[in-house]
Structure 1
């Protein structure tokens, strides 16, 4: 499986200001098991937030924990 940078379904202007709600670190685009997601860049946090129809679901309780 290749680790290509996916095209973000999130608008570029919004993508620039989003931060992880748990630790306030930047988020990077990724593709998870269920589709596009934003992943925290912090090594301590690393939560992955799904994107539903172009809308990031930035809820810590619904985030996927790192493996």
Structure 2
């Protein structure tokens, strides 16, 4: 099951309520550039739980 990109129009970061971007480089995930958090996508479903998010360094942020 693939992630539906159209969901990005209604999804927001649970921490700052900001925009999320889709990153499919290594593994599918949603990224909040402001908080530098990457939320995993499991079986096409985004896991928007702060405790499940991976903290990214500035260098790890997708361009």
Shared fold per TM-score greater than 0.5: yes
Structure number having the greater helix percentage: 2
TM-score (structure 2 length as normaliser): 0.76
TM-score (structure 1 length as normaliser): 0.72
After the TM superposition, list the runs of 4 or more consecutive aligned residues in structure 1 that deviate by more than 4 angstroms.
none
Structure 1: where are the runs of 5+ without partners? Answer: 1-8
RMSD: 1.6
Question: 1: distance between equivalents of 2:6 and 2:37?
Answer: 22
Structure 2: where are the runs of 5+ without partners? Answer: 58-63
| Distance apart, 1:55 and its partner CA | 0.1
